[in-house]
Structure 1
Amino acid sequence: MEEETEENLTPTEDSQKSPSVLPWDRFSNWLHCACVVTFDLELGQAMEIIYPSHIRMTEKESEDAHYYGFVFFRQTKDKSIRRGYFQKSVVLISRLPFVALFSQLVSIVAPEYFDNGEPSLEAACHDIDQWAPPVSGDTMNLPIFGTVLQVRMPSRSDKLVGSLQSRPQTLPVLPAHSVLPSLFEVDIYSAFLSILPHIQMLWELVLTGEPLVVMAASPSITSNTVQSLVSLISPLHFCSDYRPYFTIHDSEFKEYTTKTQAPPSVILGVTNPFFAKTLQHWPHIIRIGEMSHEAVPKGFNKLKKASSLKTLDCKPGVYTQYKPFLVKDKGILKRLIKGIQSKRPVEAQNAILRRHFLELTQSFMIPLERYVASLMPLQRNISPHKGPPSMSQFEADGFLRTLNQAGPQLTSGVKGEWEGLYRRFFRSANFEGWLLHRQYEVNQKLQLLHMEALCQANLVDWIQDKEEVEIVDLILRIREKLKFATSQSIAVKPESVNKLEKHMKAIIANLPEDLHSLTAVALTAVALRRYQLVYLATGLLDR
């Protein structure tokens, strides 16, 4: 028995240990470590190997330091073992959520380890340590055990068209190359095959950050389903927590199973039948059963009330009392059923479903993007003699008033109570995360525009009739801009930096000589003190 799963883990490095002889910086661009976990009848699971050897892991978890674990499990008969089975897993741990890439990687590395032992794991890590660092927008060739994984890194421009799966790939296929169409691609069609009629409702639940539990027979099924749920709202980033494989040993077990408080905004994947009882109070539960393509559509599971999930042998389906805001789009379901009947390839079915939800998510987000753009100050109001402006505050009611003229109905044929869905979305971590990111992007843009305004202004003429404190304020503003230009990974033109440096030198030259060599803090203090003394002398400033 072999299976691959993906889960969140929490490793930590032991900073007291001496670093490895090898330059593991390149390795750490991709992976934190590779592990081998064995299963002992007496001791339970135990860590057998960690590579690189200087990495240390603890059982204590930290909520702000989740990693992704990609697991390849092997179980074979072995009469020499008490229970009669050899059970061991190879786990790759990374900070990066590159599901498709690392799932493929572990499927290559693990069999080599099981066949050839620890030296093959060491060799794999050496190969990975030769990989170039990931660069946005680049096509990467990643050699491993004589083959090359070829994949394109995502870039900022991708968000305009959604996930990479929606873009035609024209990468040249070379001998011994394995081309991955995306770093993140998961087969959402197969994951939701038995519950396809309810997938639009699941999109709403994920979009609004509702608590969800996925129950299935194996970690690989729960992992694929949870990852598929998270990717349903692509290109919007899912900002709540999710655990593709959650067990009774996780530190949040008591928090998630208690009935004294509402479940948190998290998506859990579980296999232990014990959870069918302890998570009965969760509002949305998905039970995934096996289903062949031939059994569809007769085998579709109907929607069930959450209260009916009381037995350990309950049937597969979606258990919820949630009433969707949008009317179900029956067209996509009919198209998929027609594809099943005509034996359309699974890859094509998956692409159709992905495109549908990509367009639905974009239709939902475009009005929000348009509204945020309207909150940006006009460029003509950006003055070099004042600080940079900020984006206006997002007002939910103000946005909702724009829906009649510029709502999702312009790009989507799905009908329903869009306003109610937006209001629910505004209470979610997904909205908060999206808005914070957009505010950051807009304010970065405003900083650049303000920098350009400073560059184009005749600042030396402007300071001629100004007080020292005003001139010092301008110098500090320019210094902040230069600091911003060097610290931010944005496209600041070198000529802009040169202009600002010339401006600052010219302005400083116009100050009294005793102020030329002072630090920023001292410069401000001296100028402010002189400003106060002048006005005290004229009686314009109270003591």
Structure 2
Amino acid sequence: MDPFDSADSLEEPSRSAATDTEISEPWSRFSAWLECVCVVTFDLELGQAIELIYPYDVRLTEKEKTSICYLSFPDSYSGCLGDTQFSFRLRQSVGRSSSWFGQEDAYNKDAPVALQKEHAHFHGYVYFRQVKDASVKRGYFQKSLVVVSRLPFVNLFHSLVQVIAPEYFEKLEPCLETVCNEIDQWPAPVPGQTLNLPVMGVVMQVRIPSRDETPGGSPVKQPQTENLLPAPTVLPSVHELDLFKCFQSVLIHVQMLWELMLLGEPVVVMAPSPTVSSETVLALVSSITPLRYCGDYRPYFTIHDSEFKEYTTRTQAPPNVILGVTNPFFIKTFQCWPHIIRLGDLKMSGDLPKQVKLKKLAKLKSLDTKTGIYTAYKTFLHKDKALIKRLLKGIQKKRPSEAQSAILRRHLLEQTQSFILPLESYLESLMPPQRSVSPWKTPPQIRPFSQDEFMKNLEQEGPQLTLKGDWTGLYRRFFRSPNFDGWYRLRHREMTQKVERLHLEAICAADLLTWTKDKSEVEIVDLILKLREKLMRARKHQLPVKEELLERLEKSIQTIISSLPEDLQTVLRRQ
């Protein structure tokens, strides 16, 4: 009998939460929110160039700096005069690591998957100003202030740059240093808590949702313990965009766009400005919440991007990526892509927004400027005409955009949840029964996912949704998508952790000392080493077990060691 022997089936070791000493390191609080703040300017000789990075010692590679430069200015075709805000997403250089991994993993453990810090990408939140200025040789003042972060908090960080960029453009560098020092005093981002974030005389109040909350539910109100002066500016969400504003010209195609996102199809969004481009791409990605979009996505993409050649090669099928672009050059470059959304400035037909039409890909000519969704895709599910009718009626009745967005977001959420529910139910059936978890045996295995078995179950149960269509066809296509792969990997890891936790609980409830009575010293030492390994793995993988359970296991180990001869005790306690 070989108790507690279990292979470590968790593929990715996670790091433990940061210690107090780590938190006290310079800029550690700042790093919890931001990687850095950059100022990008237009140099007559160099073109776009980074004028300033703060903190000064932040480690960006030359490739990352170059990418930030190009992504921080609207394309010359956009003709953006005045102030413009948009966002981008940038692949970090291979081999570099985050400066704040300890707290990052503590945060990610409690955050919803769509709001977790990214290990391989940066998000850039841009405030660009272009105004006539006779004192400048080029005739224009052109500068961008960019906040770079691993957090996808588009709403919070756009609000932040709205506060600091205009002030910086007037007062320049000392002002930025003050701002960064203020951010370095912010509390850490903790899911489930209401946080007050002061900057430049403004207090932004935010609440980051936690993983345990029901998506779309009302946020839990938290009592305020401080009397803040000035009164805080309450942001309704750290990440949610005005979904209705983003989709109002494509409302009649929302069902098709949801399916394209669910299946991780390659999509190009051609827009008149980086603002429309980035907001549309982020709205598309968020349309399958609470599922995580597992393909790549670039809210704003330029011909200077280091992945340009990778994404525009004609020798292979387009990758699973959503690209937001503004340069007309891309019309020709992406003619071989299967789905192209070409947006223009919003036009009205009476009191309703003019809806973009579906067009055949063959009609996308190299300099065609007509709006349209160019695709041959046929939806698996039928349109929800009642939803479209309700939203169009809301426009006529002048229903506020926030209310329209709430209706649209609720519909998409319910549709995604209805799609996931049969998958979740089937996963539950793959879990070993709790009675099979024994302290004297290795943890039982989770049964493998069988698509055929799932499809048989689906025919009997099916999604609980009134929407008609080919649900089985949609699931079969979904199984080939990166979103299924990402969802299954995450859920399988969570299930494995659950089995590990149940096994740990069974061990703690067992009478280990009695088990050792008739065992040899070799067997007892083997048991101690395996218990220690189990304890170490539990802490290293941050299993969802109570600390007192781990302390009880620690005591059991010490009790067993105490039952051994003194010389052996000494050896084991040294380890």
State TM-score, norm by structure 1: 0.86
Aligned with 2:58 (options 40, 55, 62) = 55
Q: Residue 239 of structure 2 aligns with which residue?
A: 184
Aligned with 2:259 (options 192, 204, 220) = 204
Q: Residue 429 of structure 2 aligns with which residue?
A: 374
Q: Deviations over 1:293-333 (max 9, x none)?
A: 66564721221112211132331121100111111111110
Q: Residue 33 of structure 1 aligns with which residue?
A: 36
Are the counterparts in 2 of residues 245 and 269 from structure 1 also a CA contact under 8 Å? yes
Q: What CA distance in whole angstroms lies between the structure 1 residues aligned with 2:269 and 2:169?
A: 31
Q: Deviations over 1:362-386 (max 9, x none)?
A: 1011111111111111111101011
Segments of 5+ residues of structure 2 without an aligned counterpart are: 1-23, 65-92, 95-118
Change (3 A) 1:441 1:259: same
Are the counterparts in 2 of residues 195 and 317 from structure 1 also a CA contact under 8 Å? no
Q: Deviations over 1:84-116 (max 9, x none)?
A: 211110000001111111111111110110122
Do structure 1's residue 454 and structure 2's residue 507 form an aligned pair?
yes
Q: Residue 460 of structure 2 aligns with which residue?
A: 405
Q: Residue 3 of structure 2 aligns with which residue?
A: none
Change (3 A) 1:293 1:137: farther
Q: Please say which of residues 379-388 and 289-298 is displaced more in the overlay.
A: 289-298
Are the counterparts in 2 of residues 293 and 340 from structure 1 also a CA contact under 8 Å? no
Do structure 1's residue 76 and structure 2's residue 131 form an aligned pair?
yes
Identity %: 59
Q: Residue 358 of structure 1 aligns with which residue?
A: 413
Q: Residue 487 of structure 1 aligns with which residue?
A: 540
What amino acid does structure 2 have at the position aligned with 1:167? Answer: S
SS in structure 2 opposite 1:42? coil
What amino acid does structure 1 have at the position aligned with 2:355? Answer: F
Q: Residue 85 of structure 1 aligns with which residue?
A: 140
SS in structure 2 opposite 1:194? coil
Are the counterparts in 1 of residues 154 and 239 from structure 2 also a CA contact under 8 Å? yes
Do structure 1's residue 24 and structure 2's residue 79 form an aligned pair?
no
How many residues in Structure 1 have an aligned counterpart in Structure 2? 496
Q: What CA distance in whole angstroms lies between the structure 1 residues aligned with 2:274 and 2:517?
A: 72
Aligned with 2:367 (options 292, 312, 328) = 312
Aligned with 1:499 (options 552, 556, 561) = 552
Q: Which has the higher contact order (CA 8 A, sep 6+)?
A: 2
Structure 2 counterparts to residues 317-328 of structure 1, below 5 A: 317-328=372-383
Are the counterparts in 2 of residues 208 and 428 from structure 1 also a CA contact under 8 Å? yes
Q: What CA distance in whole angstroms lies between the structure 2 residues aligned with 1:498 and 1:168?
A: 34
Q: Residue 143 of structure 1 aligns with which residue?
A: 198
Q: Residue 529 of structure 1 aligns with which residue?
A: none
Do structure 1's residue 279 and structure 2's residue 334 form an aligned pair?
yes
How far does residue 56 in structure 1 lie from its aligned partner after superposition?
3.9
SS in structure 1 opposite 2:33? coil
How far does residue 465 in structure 1 lie from its aligned partner after superposition?
3.8
SS in structure 1 opposite 2:488? helix
Change (3 A) 1:491 1:299: closer
Are the counterparts in 2 of residues 286 and 317 from structure 1 also a CA contact under 8 Å? yes
Q: What CA distance in whole angstroms lies between the structure 2 residues aligned with 1:231 and 1:484?
A: 34
Q: What CA distance in whole angstroms lies between the structure 1 residues aligned with 2:528 and 2:522?
A: 10
Q: What CA distance in whole angstroms lies between the structure 2 residues aligned with 1:206 and 1:41?
A: 41
Q: Residue 43 of structure 1 aligns with which residue?
A: 46
What amino acid does structure 2 have at the position aligned with 1:23? Answer: P
Q: What CA distance in whole angstroms lies between the structure 1 residues aligned with 2:242 and 2:490?
A: 28
Q: Residue 427 of structure 1 aligns with which residue?
A: 480
Change (3 A) 1:255 1:296: farther
Q: What CA distance in whole angstroms lies between the structure 2 residues aligned with 1:295 and 1:214?
A: 26
Q: What CA distance in whole angstroms lies between the structure 1 residues aligned with 2:462 and 2:176?
A: 53
Change (3 A) 1:296 1:67: farther
Aligned with 1:438 (options 473, 478, 491) = 491
Are the counterparts in 1 of residues 249 and 353 from structure 2 also a CA contact under 8 Å? no
Do structure 1's residue 416 and structure 2's residue 487 form an aligned pair?
no
Change (3 A) 1:296 1:302: farther
Are the counterparts in 1 of residues 508 and 549 from structure 2 also a CA contact under 8 Å? yes
Q: Residue 475 of structure 1 aligns with which residue?
A: 528
What amino acid does structure 1 have at the position aligned with 2:156? Answer: L
What amino acid does structure 2 have at the position aligned with 1:206? Answer: M
Q: Residue 154 of structure 1 aligns with which residue?
A: 209
Q: Residue 307 of structure 2 aligns with which residue?
A: 252
Change (3 A) 1:300 1:383: same
Change (3 A) 1:385 1:353: same
Aligned CA-pair RMSD: 2.3
Are the counterparts in 2 of residues 296 and 337 from structure 1 also a CA contact under 8 Å? no
SS in structure 2 opposite 1:185? coil
